[in-house]
A and B are shown apart, each in its own frame.
Chain A
Amino acid sequence: MSRARVAVASLIVVAVVMASGCRGHRGGRRSARSPRADTLLSPAESAAAALNATRQPGALATVPAAPVELWTGPGKRPFEVATRTSEEDAGHARRFGSITLQTALRARPLGQYPCTSCHLGRKVVMAEKRIADAHQNVQPEHPKRTGALCSTCHAADNVELLALENGERVTLDETYRLCAQCHFAQVDAWADGAHGKRLDGWQGRRVVMVCPDCHDPHNPTVQPRIPFRAPRIERTRGHGK
C-alpha cells in the first residue's frame, strides 16, 4: 500500500520536473535571446545537414521544400522551392537563403544568422558606416545602383523579415516575392522553368531553387570566374586541318 503511494508520488514528481523542464527550454528568454547554431536545427534539419555534409561538392540534395502560392509552373502546375547544397556554387549566397532550408543545408556553423542574436531589443540603425562594420560580407552593389535603402527590402522593425512594397512582411523563405516586385519578367520565366534551376530531376515533384541560391541579393550580378580546363583538341575541320 505504502509502496504504491510512493510510486505515485515519484511519478508526479517526475512529471512536474519534466513539464517545468520543457517549459523552461521552450519559453525561456535566455534560449531565445542567445540561440546557438546547433540548437536551431530541428531533428529533421540536423539529419539533412548531416546528409549534406557527406555529399560531393556540386551535388544536389532533396531538401525540405515549400510550396509556391502566387505562381504556377508550366501547365498551371504547382511547384515548390528549395535550395541547393553545394558549398562551392552557392557559397556566400546561401547565407541569405531561406531560414529553414538554410539551417538545414549548412554543415558548418552559421555566421550572422539569426539576426536577433544581435538585433533583439535594440533599434536597428541603418547607417552605412555601421553596416560596413557589422556586415562585412555585404557588398551593397544592388542598393548603390538602384538607390535603394536597407529598409526598401528589410523590415526596419523586424530584421528577420523582408518588407514588400504593399506593406506585407515575408520571411527569408519567400525572397522570390520580394525580387518579383521589380524583376517580374525573370520571375515569370522562373516560374515556368526558363530561368533558374530545377532540383531532383526532370520527373515528378517540381522543386526549384530560389533567387538567392544563385544571386547574392546585395550584389546580384554573376561574378567572373576562371573556367574549367580547355579541351586539348581544338576541333576537327575535315582532313588535314
Chain B
Amino acid sequence: MSADRPPEMPESAADGTVLQKRVDRRLALKILAGGVAAGTQALGACSPLSAATDQEREVKLLAWQEYIKGNYRFMTDAERAETIARLERLAKLKRAEDVAIQSTGAQPGVVFGYAFNISKCKGYRRCVEACINENNLDRQAATQYIRIFEMEDGVIDLNEADATFQHEVPAEGHFYLGTQCFQCADPPCVKVCPVGATWQEPDGITVVDYDWCIGCRYCVAACPYWARRFNWSAPEVPVEEVNPNQHYLGNRARKVGVVEKCTFCIHRTRQGRLPACAEACPTGARVFGNLLDPDSEIRWVLANKRIFRLKEDLKTEPRFWYFTD
C-alpha cells in the first residue's frame, strides 16, 4: 500500500458506472451499512419477539460501521472524527468508560529521541508501573512494554541478564538497563507488515492501527528488540483504572488478536509532556526530547556523554541511546 495514495478515489467520469459515480468496495459496504441499520431498526421496531434493546442495536450498528472503516492513515479529518466519536460511544456503551480519544498529529520540526542512563537506573521498575497505568495495558496477561535487565558490573550481555529479578534493588555489583520500543528510524517491523497496519509517523513514532492489524505477528518476529506485544486474549482493564486520556494510535482499547507497542506515550508527548516512564522515574535516568532542537537536553547528552545503542550493527537506527555518567 503506497503512502502516496490519495484518500479519495479519483473522480473519472470517462469510465463512470450506471450511477455516474464510481463505487468502490468500501463505499458499497457503507451504503449496505445504511441498509442494515435501517433493517435492524425496522426489525427492532416491528418484532415483539426481538429481545434487542436500543443500546444493543446501537452497539451493533457502531460495531458494523467500525468494521468497514478504512486505514487511519488514509482517512480524512472528517472520517477520523467520525470513527473517534464511534469509538468513544462504544467505550461508553460496552464498558461504561468515559474516554477522550485524540487524533493529534505530529508537531512540525520534532523527532523524538530517548536517552537512558545506565549509571542512574536502580531497577525500581517505577517506569513499568507508570507505563501499565498510562497505556491501559492488559492486566489479565500482565503485558509490559518496558523491560529492566539486571546485569553484573563490567559486562553488557542481555542473554545472561536477569529481567525477572524480585529482590531489593539496587543489588550489590549490578547495574540495570531498560529496553522498550526504540522507535527505529528504519524500522524492520514496518517493512514486514503485509497490510500497512503499522507505520512511522513524521515525529519518528512507529504506530499501529489496531483496527487494521490482522494479527499475523510478522512484526513481532521482525523486531530485533522484542518491542512488540501480541494480544492473545482480549485485554482487560478494570473500568476504574482506565486512563481516559487516549490517542487513536496509542493507548485506546485494544482487542484480541492485534499487536501493540510502546508509542513514547504519543497522547502525552505530542502535547509537550514527557512519556509516563520518564515522568515516573525516581532516579532521573531517563532523558526525553526533540532530536531536531540543538539546544535540547537530549542533544546535550548525545554530544557530551559516552553513549551506545543496542544492536547498532543491524542498522535499524534506534532513536534510543544508553549513556553513562
Which residues of A are in contact with B by a Cβ distance under 8 Å?
58, 60, 73-77, 89, 189, 192-198, 200-204, 209, 214, 222, 224-232, 234-237
Contact = CB atoms under 8 A, between A and B. Distances in A.
30 contacts: A60-B279, A73-B297, A74-B295, A74-B300, A75-B300, A77-B295, A192-B297, A192-B300, A193-B289, A193-B298, A193-B300, A194-B297, A194-B300, A194-B301, A197-B284, A198-B274, A201-B273, A204-B272, A214-B283, A224-B169, A227-B124, A227-B166, A227-B169, A228-B124, A228-B125, A229-B125, A230-B164, A231-B142, A231-B144, A235-B163
B164 A234 contact: yes
A42 to B, nearest CB: 27
A201 B272 contact: yes
B281 A197 contact: yes
A192 B120 CA distance: 16
Contact of A227 (B125, B141, B272, B279): B125
B130 A58 contact: yes
Contacts of A234: 163-164
Interface string B301-325: 1001100000000000000000101
A29 to B, nearest CB: 43
A190 B163 CA distance: 29
B144 A225 contact: no
Q: Categorize the interface residue count of chain B.
A: 35 or more
The main secondary structure of chain A at its interface with chain B is loop
Given A189-B325, A198-B297, A225-B122, 10 more contacts: A74-B297, A76-B295, A194-B300, A194-B305, A194-B325, A201-B274, A214-B283, A226-B168, A227-B123, A227-B125
A72 to B, nearest CB: 10
Nearest to A75: B295
Most chain B beta-carbon contacts within 10 A, residue among A75, A193, A235: A193
Contacts of A193: 287, 289, 296-298, 300-301
A202 B166 contact: no
B272 A231 contact: no
A214 B166 contact: no
B126 interface: yes
Nearest to B115: A194
B62 interface: no
A204 B325 CA distance: 26
Given A75-B295, A89-B282, A231-B164, A202 B288 contact: yes
Contacts of B6: none
Nearest to B323: A194
Nearest to B273: A201
Contact of A228 (B126, B167, B170, B226): B126
Interface in B228-286: 268-269, 271-274, 279-284
B129 interface: yes
A232 B148 CA distance: 13
Contacts of A192: 297, 300-301, 304
Most chain B beta-carbon contacts within 10 A, residue among A73, A74, A75, A200: A74
A214 B305 contact: no
B299 interface: yes
Nearest to A56: B133
Q: Which 4 A-B pairs have the closest CB atoms?
A: A75-B295, A193-B297, A203-B272, A228-B125
Nearest to A202: B289
Contacts of B271: 201
Contact of A231 (B117, B122, B163, B170): B163
Nearest to A234: B164
Contact of B129 (A201, A214, A228): A228
A28 to B, nearest CB: 42
Contacts of A74: 295-297, 299-300
A225 B170 CA distance: 7
A202 B300 contact: no
A229 B268 CA distance: 25
Nearest to A89: B282
Interface in B106-148: 117, 120, 122-126, 128-130, 141-142, 144, 147-148
Contacts of A209: 284
A191 B279 CA distance: 18
A229 B282 CA distance: 16
Contacts of A232: 141-142
A198 B305 CA distance: 18
Nearest to B110: A203
A231 B297 CA distance: 31
Nearest to B107: A203
Contacts of B282: 89, 214
B67 interface: no
Contacts of A228: 124-126, 128-129
